Amino acid sequence: MEKLSSKKRLLPQVMELIRHSLHTVKYGHLILTVQDGYVIKMERTEKFIFTAKNKSGYIVQDVPARQHSFQPKIIAQLEGLMYGQLIIRIEDGKVEQIEKTEKRRINEQEGIYGDGI
């Protein structure tokens, strides 16, 4: 199976949404779903935790135009992923964890003669 480049899989609109979310989410998750080597869906779950120490507020007016420092790591995790999900957990505005779940499609004929799983 041909390995698709990240440029082909990650359309500019997708990278823009990822970048924007990485800069604006304080607490929550980003879930990127990959099918046939392409990011087909992004879910954004955001939590708002109200404490006295947050003086700046929760609305981010201006999102920096620069690339987020974790974008290259996210692209690297998506490399070669044909089916599955990448879950990015954000705590206090910082990426805390990246979890990769890979699913593999098995041809119906595989495994009949001991090959495959």
**What pLDDT does 115 receive?**
59
Give the Cα separation of 89 and 15 in Å (integer).
17
pTM of the predicted model as reported, rounded to 2 decimal places: 0.75
pLDDT per residue as tens digits for the range 14-61: 989 999 999 999 899 999 999 989 999 999 999 988 877 666 666 666
117 residue type, one letter? I
Give the Cα separation of 19 and 14 in Å (integer).
9
Phi/psi region, residue 72 (left: phi>0; alpha: psi -120 to 50; beta: rest), is alpha
Burial of 36 (0-12, 13-18, 19+ CB in 10 A): exposed
**What pLDDT does 90 receive?**
95
pLDDT band at 109 (very low <50, low <70, confident <90, very high): low
